[in-house]
């Protein structure tokens, strides 16, 4: 039968997927899939912040996505700076 190869094949992702809520594409860089990462670049956003902005947007004032504060705190500690400095520094990397 022709065209069988081009049919949608369910892909089973092993390992990490995009960190962005509502996005299940395979992980590519900075916690995001290729598409979300490019999106972040396009809008000059920190890919890691975009990861926590849901793909379908927030569902209202009470909807929130948990930010990886502990992870950031840990990273800041490793660099010997406090959280604020760490986040500002990341901002200035651009």
Residues in contact with Zn ion by the rule CB under 5 A: 18, 20, 23, 25, 33, 36
Which residue, 33 or 76, has its beta carbon nearer to Zn ion?
A: 33
Which residue, 27 or 81, has its beta carbon nearer to Zn ion?
A: 27
- Cα dihedral value 49, 52, 54, 58, nearest 10: -90
Which residue, 23 or 75, has its beta carbon nearer to Zn ion?
A: 23
- The tokens of 39 are what? 């999106």
Q: How far is the CB of 32 from Zn ion (least distance, A)?
A: 5
Q: Quick count: other Cβ atoms within 10 Å of Cβ 47?
A: 19
């Amino acid at each position: 039968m022709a065209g069988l190869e081009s049919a949608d094949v369910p892909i089973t992702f092993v390992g990490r997927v995009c960190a962005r809520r509502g996005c299940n594409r395979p992980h590519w860089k900075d916690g995001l899939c290729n598409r979300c990462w490019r999106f972040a670049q396009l809008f000059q956003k920190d890919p890691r912040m975009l990861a926590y902005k849901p793909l379908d947007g927030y569902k209202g004032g009470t909807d929130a996505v948990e930010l990886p504060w502990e992870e950031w705190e840990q990273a800041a500690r490793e660099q010997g700076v406090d959280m604020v400095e760490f986040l500002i520094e990341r901002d200035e990397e651009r």
